[in-house]
A and B are shown apart, each in its own frame.
Chain A
Amino acid sequence: MKLSLGPPQYFWPRERALAFYREAVHWPLDIIYLGETVCSKRRELGTGDWIALAQELADSGKQIVLSSLALIEAESELGALKRQVENGEFWIEANDLSAVQLCRERRVPFVGGPSLNVYNHVALAMLMDDGLRRWVPGVEQGKTLIADVHAAMAAWDRAMPELEVIAYGRLPLSWSARCFTARAHDVAKDQCGFRCIDYPDGLPLATRDGSPFLRINGIQIQGDEVTDLGPELPGLRELGVDVLRLYPQHEGMAQVVAHFDQARRTAQPPQRIGARNGYWHGEPGMSLPGA
């Protein structure tokens, strides 16, 4: 089983981000996803910087993949996507249909990212014809749905693409034209002052009775809980999961990677280090109050 470092979700200062990846390249990872997936205004590292970093890290022998923006609205964002797709070297993680189409038109292999909305084997097979080589199911797609896709592909006599699941991190739940970080500071999106940089693990949102609930991350909303599928490892193996995705957190990521590296080499499931992911079991994603 491979380990991947998912694309960065938060906005870190340039030096912090570069130092993180120069360290991460020595961790027991097989795949590293790079690139801005949330907000095109986050330019501590621009598209060119990410591609240069990808080239630098590629010498490590790890697979480097360039992740695309999940919500594309502006022409400039399409331009950046085109530059990513035309890098000439790395696969793309396609996080929307624009990226799928540009990869398809240029015959660039791609990973189907979690915001692509692939819910069944027919869609998956079509995307494979378009160049999809690896599939990261969306957050609400649990083990039953994935097993059904598996079975249906087998009945068609079609091989599955590589299967990568989100094993550790906060779940991305939604995207908007609005920036919620800017809203929380009562400033316009165009004058946001890049405040996301003050929240290296997102801005906490709690219910009125003080329970942690969501994380505001610019135009994206995440669940507050850092989910952990480690204890599900035996089931993941049975399901044919090829890659465990670990989303970067600001602190302690080396230990998280070491934990999953140890776990993948052991038959016994590891101890839980994050919250249970209800989606995986066909339930609400979050741990409910009183449950």
Chain B
Amino acid sequence: MRALQRGARECALTCVKVRECADPRTARLIQVKAARAQARDHARHPSQRGARMQLVCPAGNLPALQAAIDAGADAVYAGLRDQTNARAFPGLNFSDDELRTGIAYAHGRGRKVYLALNTYPDSARLATWFSAVDKAAAFGCDAIIAAEMAVLDYAARTHPQLPRHLSVQGSATTAPALRYMHERFGIARAVLPRVLAIQQVERLCESAPVPLEVFAFGSLCIMVEGRCQLSSYVTGASPNRHGVCSPAKFVRWDEQPDGRRSVHLNGVLIDRFEPAEPAGYPTVCKGRFDVRDEVFHALEEPTSLNTLELLPRLARAGVAALKIEGRQRGAAYVASVTRTWREALDRHRAAPEDWNVQPGWQSALTRHAEGHQTTLGPYHRHWH
């Protein structure tokens, strides 16, 4: 029996999915363990009975979408090539044809595509968002991810069969806030802002009226999503209204003859760098400023969120889905990060008691992190 268990562990190490396991006895043991884990989940979390934690990955373009699917994403999220989503960057996102192709690719492999429509239209531009909702329905998207009430309301009335996920941009951090969105718009899932500690996430899983999705990895917004005006204060370009943060057209790098550099955003000095010093993208929140006569990263240093070590707690809490940030990143990032999380999730599902973080996973993720460093962020009290 011990040999069989070891075999199961080894098998879980080498094969990504139970169904791909060649040894039927080992596969059976993995399945039994998974069933036991499921039974525990069943007892603890009525809202998430039998559910397996889904891996939701970013797709900034068609190659990234395909890379995510190939690497084991359960679902990808994508945006149209306009201001209806929060990554409205030049050269990014999907034309109608590309989106149709992407959906066919994902559906052909039994995976899902969510369309992010998570910006805030003003009255004069509502039609553009409504038409994007229509497209999501017509093209066969599996859900929309939206934040704004008019968009959610239109979707609920016009395409009630199209599931609605509340975007992180919706800034819902409590059970009553989620109840509002659920009662008003029938949301099927909510993505939590990156502000809650792990204990708060666990409690919210118990009290929320809908399954929850949380951020697992990627660039970290230090501010509550959907409520940050730092970019628009400096540039007029707003994440909520225009789907952009500190757009590149406002960025100006200056290099001195000695190699020192400075970077301005619309004329406001965000940071200075020594010749060999690494320099990240200049958002206001990651600049260095003078506070109390000290110059430092007063808001946040360049770093990425990485919750890998919390995976067992998130699973036990009944979190429905883990989200990877990074629609602005390329296919190589998406493939590598997705593959790492897929493996971590599958191994946890197969043998939750034996699960621990593999050094290879952490180093793979750190390679893709901003500033090559990661943090547990708000999940961990000490970070605050």
Contacts and interface: CB of A to CB of B under 8 A. Distances in A.
Interface of A: 70-75, 78, 96-98, 100-102, 104-105, 115, 117, 119-123, 126-127, 138-141, 145, 148-149, 151-152, 171, 173-180, 182-185, 188-190, 203-211, 213-214, 216, 221, 223, 278-279, 282-286, 288-291
A73 B381 contact: no
Instruction: Name which of A104, A176, A204, A283 has the most chain B CB atoms within 10 A of its CB.
Output: A176
A286 B234 contact: yes
Contact of B382 (A120, A175, A188, A283): A188
A175 B272 CA distance: 26
A176 B298 contact: no
B224 A175 contact: yes
Interface residues of B, number: 69
Contacts of A73: 173-174, 195-197, 200
10 contacts: A104-B180, A126-B153, A151-B123, A178-B378, A214-B289, A284-B236, A285-B234, A285-B236, A288-B234, A288-B268
B176 interface: yes
B150 interface: yes
A227 to B, nearest CB: 11
B230 A221 contact: yes
A221 B223 contact: yes
Contacts of B126: 120, 122
Given A171-B233, A284-B235, A117 B289 contact: no
Instruction: Name which of A70, A72, A97 has the most chain B CB atoms within 10 A of its CB.
Output: A97
Contacts, number: 214
A72 B291 contact: no
B271 interface: yes
A121 B154 CA distance: 13
Contact of A211 (B176, B222, B269): B269
Contacts of B194: 177
B304 interface: no
Given A176-B195, A214-B230, A288-B268, 5 more contacts: A71-B173, A72-B177, A73-B173, A173-B229, A291-B267
Contacts of B289: 205-208, 213-214
Classify the interface of chain B: helix, strand, loop or mixed: mixed
Contact of B176 (A98, A122, A289): A98
Contacts of A209: 269
Given A101-B180, A207-B289, A171 B229 contact: yes
Interface string B255-297: 0000000000011111110000000000000011111101100
B3 interface: no
Contacts of A190: 381, 384
Contacts of A210: 290
Given A73-B196, A96-B177, A284-B232, A174 B290 contact: no
Ranked nearest first, the 7 interchain pairs of A and B with the lowest CB-CB distance are A122-B150, A189-B384, A97-B177, A177-B195, A101-B180, A123-B149, A285-B233
Contacts of A149: 122-123
Contacts of B61: none
